[in-house]
Structure 1
């Protein structure tokens, strides 16, 4: 990575953003925005802390570069190593959750780089940036008091505790841990961490751990010589828990190879743009800080935000406070009949199911809540038990409940009545629960999808967050009822009175959210998006998820065994190439071999010995012909496939169906792309031999075949249409190899007999342009000098000026309106588009890509929605959606008609709403396995 502009004399400040947020939240009293009641206390504290940091950071020792680092989500790669990692940590307070995205926006408004990466903790990002900066000769100050970061302290890296305003160097680390930074990980691995649920060695604390490491030198030596320890209890602890201790070390060891797609030079400190900063602060209604900024930059402060109107608009109805004391428990058939009659007459009801699990395919129904109006809600308990035993495990049924069969028989006509609208939050879950009981709930409105259609990319769409933000009510956390960890109970064990309060509250909040969102859909011009692209997906995806897909667990187990053998063989090869044994998973040991023993040039760090062995570094070395880095890359790839897929997939087989049932998120990505979880079947690699072998484990039952239909280059085709590029449109219409054509247009070479390398370069540019790739990014992809890569991009834009015009037009639209739209009018918000610094470039790339990727997502959604009717009557069903691909299961003699019908639907999915100027081409295949079909 080119870090020209960062080196000796540079001083990088890395701010632990999550620590700032929680400190701000707990230090200040609750604060809400007067105009709409949005909680903003943490944002206010965070903004004041950031402003103070910026003001205090001036002077002789001021940072030249800075970034605020955030945790992306609670789940990271460490949860794959140890499932219970951080399991004891409570959920963030409900009123804090909607403030998380606003703190990111605040960071960008202050013109400080805002960084977070999926699957990696903030500490790992900080570690990676610190190691990179130190390797380049710069100094690093980590602004945090987090003990986990102390392992990084050393030559060129120090910490600053912002609470105590105290510097933390090597001596301060020794005072805390009894060892210097390079041995902190060993001590933490032994002592464990109850906060993060790192197990460690039972009975060994920090003091004893430090004593042991001091005596034996390091953890590996200690474990190897544990049998020599005289104290019997300590000796047995180390011998019996050695593997657990090694796992703990992997958990506490920070990852210095976090994938970073930007150069340190882009983190250069610059003043915030006063107008951008004051606009954000004024919108948050932080008058005092707004005036301070105005005074600092000698700029006139903006006009204060107008107070809320005295009467509510139709799009934002005012509600009385939620009163859970008025909720009703329906314990007999006569009362239930009265409610059903009233609901049927009303024509609408909010409902919510309560179950024993989040897994819809295995959860047992416990009760149903109903709300036909504000302040009117009830709960129908069906399967609650007395005492600790679960009814479904033989517990004693609690008194005062209508028999489940009777209650569902009474509710079924109303739930299936097309004249009664059922309003649900995250309706796909409840639809599947009821479908397993023979009830096909229809019609349905989904408040989660309404929020998604209106506010994609602005915030999450969970009920608790929406209740906080739009209803001004804090919902009761489920953990208050169920508990956590080993002592957790199921909802069936919750006393009926307590269950009524919780369940009926959910139903009433859903009703209130529906009244809030429903009028906003036409005002925002997203009614058609919601009605045609969001809501119909509920039943389509529910059907796919319930169908599941069959896997060959034995094949996966054999692959796991083969992967283990291959990893062992690669490990042996690596040891031979290195001239001795070492831990392939240890970046430090690997770095010492590559840069120390082998003397390879590159990224040796300072005197501390911390060395960078990221995938990019190893790939560069492998490309230069060095065998050891190539073996390490192979070992890492196989290890990832083994742990993520071949070991894990068999654990997802449903014991009742014998199939794997993934779960799709409709309201995940802001662009409309679906995501799948538990398991994630959308990220199975396809370009490697090992990845294709994993797809061989997805099989068709006897007498059937798997069928795959996949859009060909759909995003490039959409770009050609949206940007109106005659050369690309003509090539697609003529069926010409688009990458060869691009190469011919750019480099003036004939298509016939073209050098494959030239075509590869054109392909990289074609796809890179969709994502707003920079010269730096293209240089990395093609492994060519940056200047040469930038010249390619410049030539590309000269040849296809329409693309530059599209990018400029889309960026202006995003800045003007705060969102862009797909061809089907999906609104995709673009927070951060008007900021400056590194964040602005990312926001701009996202805005440029959003209409393209979003339109592709809309097209495949339209195809999926039409598919059930198109293949009705065929012995076939749709099982999976993987980005631009649909996977079906069909009888052998139905493969041909299925392909014909499905291809017709997919090729014409844009019509009649959008008349594309390029054809949509669909590739198809079939086989006994997914690998054969694709």
Structure 2
């Protein structure tokens, strides 16, 4: 801080009271409140509020302690506005090693600001600067204006501000921090604290400093030479060789560190000090906030302890939610009210939209939905946006509607719309406001659409994912089904407003009245569903599952989808041509083999060939009376189970033909069509709630099922390429499900093998068959591998016999021997099946519930299927949970480390990235570290999770 020796004497305000400014380090208070108290959630909806409660208690204590003659005349609470500041531009490693905030703390940040304002205090923050910089600036300005300043914080960085006009107060110890305390801490007076920190560095903020120089050495150097510049200028005079060389070699790093630790006293100020006049909270406003947070006992305590003009409102806080949805409290029984489609408003003027913006700001929780002209979020154009703030209080804002002939001549109110750029400018602050929770149904789609219009929606909740967490496996999670299930209401079907089949039209041609009722109803339904499902998360103890496994996924997947992955269309065309040529050759060979032409694509003709002409045994007819000729039938014939000779050869040809046809039709031909003609990138759509175990699915196109077991299938991956100057990185969990089986079943032999880095299949074969590792044959290892993976899926003797081509008795003996060698696996399977019978669901290590209602079905086959599913679900589900956690953490970690590498795809246990060639060597270890530690801190896996990563020009080479 600048020298204040010429600062004016402390003056008094108009009332004669001494001018004293108190600046509170609000961000420090938040973390103290969070870590100092046990977790607390709001009973009505499960919102985490522990930090908010602790923060409010701190403010009450502060207000009570600052009364009377010593009370400050002015007070403000200063917050960090975000994680990125100008210091990150100076040094990209600044604070890079700090973990992200706890997931349950993030939604409390805006509520703490609300709490500050509810107590009548200014909440000050400034993007691009830390709270410490604002505190420094305000302290500097206040001293110039004749104030005494007290900074309430335990942050050592603020000790550089201390002088005869500025003191600190440690809120933990309750003791003042003046010049003597600073010298005790750093060994130097406040004016040399910046120089000392430049030498010492700071491991918490990742400030490098001078390697090997600590507090005592830094103080000795500064006292001897006077300041840092003198120390560096005279470094050659220092007798200790190592110390001397460190100061010479790391001079630039030390000077950079000084710029990182020096606080700015010239930041722009968001508000003038004159507006910080300390005043009593308004009782009604404070009461409303405390009621919304459900801090009833705190409210009554405040009503009896603070000298407010009116404490009645505080002393009589209602035990039920207040009537309007302030701070996320639902309208009482609002979701039970009938739907009134005529109450919805079509917003066609700026004035109407401004009214809705104010309504959203007041509501604090709003539903958002977008209507577009395409199902692809990466290419769709915006037709309009719908909002809902309360029951039957919803609107539709048309932005891209046209007359039915595709031309809009601007005539008539039926097509009157706000200009798109003006509407976006008004909606952007609301949709990005951290104090307003945006609720969506499958909000990933809306995030992607709005991102393309420059809007980063945050924070958000997703009702589809809430339902998925609460009742995954019991039903679908689409809006119409959830509305019927939870609200007893059937929403307007899309075909009613847009037609279907030959009459289907784009939503942009739907008349505004019909569009308003359809779109606004979607928003209304979504908000009502949120009020139903949010409390369920808490009641069913699944809020942590939602917060840590689901809530961050829409943003992560939206970014991946928008990134897309590049393909080489010429490679795909060449493969298509090659597959077509081989299909023709197989067709000619099959005709020659039979001695006459026939249609290889006709199931009816194939049935006649195999079972009428060749008289092969084992034929079965379908419900239509035709012979069945599906893949299983052809495989049995090809393997010699239903005849040999001509039929066996022909079946093999047909299987090869079908494989070529699928590769060509489903992949090489289709992928060319999916590629964006401008960028040659494919933007698949990921689905979060389509499997019972948490695994992702994708379509348009489906990239999860590209075959990799055959050479022809792997060729398709060669068409996925990096852009010029970049590489594709494939990072793949190695045998994650077997590793999880070893942990969950507590199988010591498997755990030891994984920990020692052994070949797990060879080790299993050695244990089962008594064959030394040195004498292991590929056939014995193959059989052990089939059993290892089969056990995960609850394989039977019949299934293993089919897979290995052995008789069922031998396969059953293999499984029996396996369980004898690894009894923990059988114990796990038996315990899991019993848990399913008792509860109707199983759980992953992360707590995700996977309901399997078939266990209550009729018939042994159905129940046997349910038991096999139960054996696999906790293992596959935990693997899915782990990679979800890795995905949510990945891009923030990459960005924080200054990498421009981007995550493009997730395929089962594999993540695909595109990285500049210069970043590859450095970024791969970070990717591996994030993935390998993704289960932490929730679960400590007892075997190492190994991630194999490789960079190459195309996906196949990187895998």
Q: TM > 0.5 between the two? A: yes
- Aligned residue for 1:915, secondary structure, equals coil
- Aligned residue for 1:386, secondary structure, equals coil
**Map of 1:721 onto structure 2:** 743
- Aligned residue for 1:773, secondary structure, equals coil
* Change in 2 beyond 3 A, CA 1:315/1:739: farther
Residues 1:492 and 2:508 are matched in the alignment: yes
Q: Residues of 1 paired with 2:621 and 2:419: CA distance?
A: 69
Q: Residues of 2 paired with 1:439 and 1:318: CA distance?
A: 29
2:597 to 581, 584, 599: 581
**Map of 1:522 onto structure 2:** 538
User: Shift of the alpha carbon at 1:487?
Assistant: 2.6
Q: Residues of 1 paired with 2:775 and 2:948: CA distance?
A: 25
* Change in 2 beyond 3 A, CA 1:399/1:567: closer
Give the aligned CA root-mean-square deviation in angstroms: 2.2
**Map of 1:932 onto structure 2:** 957
- Structure 1 unmatched ranges of 5 or more: 1-312
**Map of 1:199 onto structure 2:** none
User: Shift of the alpha carbon at 1:376?
Assistant: 1.2
**Map of 2:785 onto structure 1:** 763
* Change in 2 beyond 3 A, CA 1:397/1:567: farther
User: Shift of the alpha carbon at 1:580?
Assistant: 2.5
User: Shift of the alpha carbon at 1:497?
Assistant: 1.7
* Change in 2 beyond 3 A, CA 1:723/1:403: same
Q: Residues of 1 paired with 2:956 and 2:340: CA distance?
A: 56
Query: Is the CA contact (8 Å cut-off) linking 2:928 and 2:947 kept in structure 1?
Result: yes
User: Shift of the alpha carbon at 1:646?
Assistant: 1.0
Residues 1:332 and 2:349 are matched in the alignment: yes
Q: Residues of 1 paired with 2:806 and 2:938: CA distance?
A: 43
User: Shift of the alpha carbon at 1:495?
Assistant: 1.6
Q: Residues of 1 paired with 2:769 and 2:846: CA distance?
A: 36
User: Shift of the alpha carbon at 1:615?
Assistant: 3.0
Structure with the bigger RCO (C-alpha within 8 Å, sep 6+) is 1
Residues 1:744 and 2:766 are matched in the alignment: yes
Query: Residue by residue, what CA displacement relative to the aligned partner does 1:160-215 show, whole Å, maximum 9, x if unpaired?
Result: xxxxxxxxxxxxxxxxxxxxxxxxxxxxxxxxxxxxxxxxxxxxxxxxxxxxxxxx
Residues 1:678 and 2:700 are matched in the alignment: yes
Q: Residues of 2 paired with 1:894 and 1:506: CA distance?
A: 44
Q: Residues of 1 paired with 2:827 and 2:852: CA distance?
A: 19
User: Shift of the alpha carbon at 1:718?
Assistant: 0.4
1:83-122 alignment, distance < 5 Å: none
Q: What TM-score comes out, normalization by structure 2 length?
A: 0.63
1:454-469 alignment, distance < 5 Å: 454-469=470-485
Moved more, 429-438 or 923-932: 923-932
User: Shift of the alpha carbon at 1:577?
Assistant: 2.1
Residues 1:806 and 2:823 are matched in the alignment: no
**Map of 2:317 onto structure 1:** none
Query: Residue by residue, what CA displacement relative to the aligned partner does 1:598-629 show, whole Å, maximum 9, x if unpaired?
Result: 565554879x9954444334334434574322
**Map of 2:450 onto structure 1:** 434
Residues 1:861 and 2:884 are matched in the alignment: yes
User: Shift of the alpha carbon at 1:676?
Assistant: 0.5
Query: Is the CA contact (8 Å cut-off) linking 1:595 and 1:604 kept in structure 2?
Result: no
Query: Is the CA contact (8 Å cut-off) linking 1:386 and 1:397 kept in structure 2?
Result: no
Moved more, 676-685 or 868-877: 868-877
User: Shift of the alpha carbon at 1:401?
Assistant: 1.8
**Map of 2:709 onto structure 1:** 687
User: Shift of the alpha carbon at 1:926?
Assistant: 1.7
- Structure 2 unmatched ranges of 5 or more: 1-329
1:445-484 alignment, distance < 5 Å: 445-484=461-500
Q: Residues of 1 paired with 2:595 and 2:573: CA distance?
A: 33
**Map of 1:911 onto structure 2:** 936
Query: Residue by residue, what CA displacement relative to the aligned partner does 1:658-713 show, whole Å, maximum 9, x if unpaired?
Result: 31100000111011000000000010001111111111111111111111011111
* Change in 2 beyond 3 A, CA 1:599/1:331: closer
**Map of 1:892 onto structure 2:** 917
Residues 1:665 and 2:687 are matched in the alignment: yes
Q: Residues of 2 paired with 1:433 and 1:604: CA distance?
A: 50
Q: Residues of 2 paired with 1:378 and 1:564: CA distance?
A: 53
Larger radius of gyration: 2
1:46-195 alignment, distance < 5 Å: none
- Aligned residue for 2:773, secondary structure, equals coil
Work out the number of aligned pairs and report it: 620
- Aligned residue for 2:854, secondary structure, equals coil
Query: Residue by residue, what CA displacement relative to the aligned partner does 1:878-923 show, whole Å, maximum 9, x if unpaired?
Result: 1000000001111112112221110111111111110000001111
* Change in 2 beyond 3 A, CA 1:397/1:789: farther
User: Shift of the alpha carbon at 1:508?
Assistant: 0.7
* Change in 2 beyond 3 A, CA 1:612/1:398: closer
**Map of 2:728 onto structure 1:** 706
* Change in 2 beyond 3 A, CA 1:617/1:320: closer
- Aligned residue for 1:833, secondary structure, equals helix
Q: Residues of 1 paired with 2:405 and 2:620: CA distance?
A: 59
Q: What TM-score comes out, normalization by structure 1 length?
A: 0.64
Q: Residues of 2 paired with 1:387 and 1:573: CA distance?
A: 54
* Change in 2 beyond 3 A, CA 1:326/1:763: same
* Change in 2 beyond 3 A, CA 1:709/1:344: same
2:403 to 373, 382, 386: 386
Query: Is the CA contact (8 Å cut-off) linking 1:703 and 1:891 kept in structure 2?
Result: yes
- Aligned residue for 1:582, secondary structure, equals coil
User: Shift of the alpha carbon at 1:595?
Assistant: 5.0
* Change in 2 beyond 3 A, CA 1:613/1:864: same
* Change in 2 beyond 3 A, CA 1:574/1:380: same
Query: Residue by residue, what CA displacement relative to the aligned partner does 1:557-590 show, whole Å, maximum 9, x if unpaired?
Result: 1111111110111112222222232222234433
Residues 1:882 and 2:907 are matched in the alignment: yes
Q: Residues of 1 paired with 2:616 and 2:513: CA distance?
A: 69
Query: Is the CA contact (8 Å cut-off) linking 1:646 and 1:694 kept in structure 2?
Result: yes
Residues 1:780 and 2:805 are matched in the alignment: no
- Aligned residue for 1:709, secondary structure, equals strand
1:842 to 825, 845, 865: 865
- Aligned residue for 2:384, secondary structure, equals strand
Residues 1:556 and 2:566 are matched in the alignment: no
Q: Residues of 2 paired with 1:661 and 1:341: CA distance?
A: 36
Q: Residues of 1 paired with 2:501 and 2:458: CA distance?
A: 37
**Map of 1:323 onto structure 2:** 340
- Aligned residue for 2:856, secondary structure, equals coil
* Change in 2 beyond 3 A, CA 1:749/1:390: farther
Query: Is the CA contact (8 Å cut-off) linking 2:740 and 2:875 kept in structure 1?
Result: yes
**Map of 1:280 onto structure 2:** none
- Aligned residue for 1:752, secondary structure, equals helix
* Change in 2 beyond 3 A, CA 1:593/1:482: closer
Query: Is the CA contact (8 Å cut-off) linking 1:739 and 1:762 kept in structure 2?
Result: yes
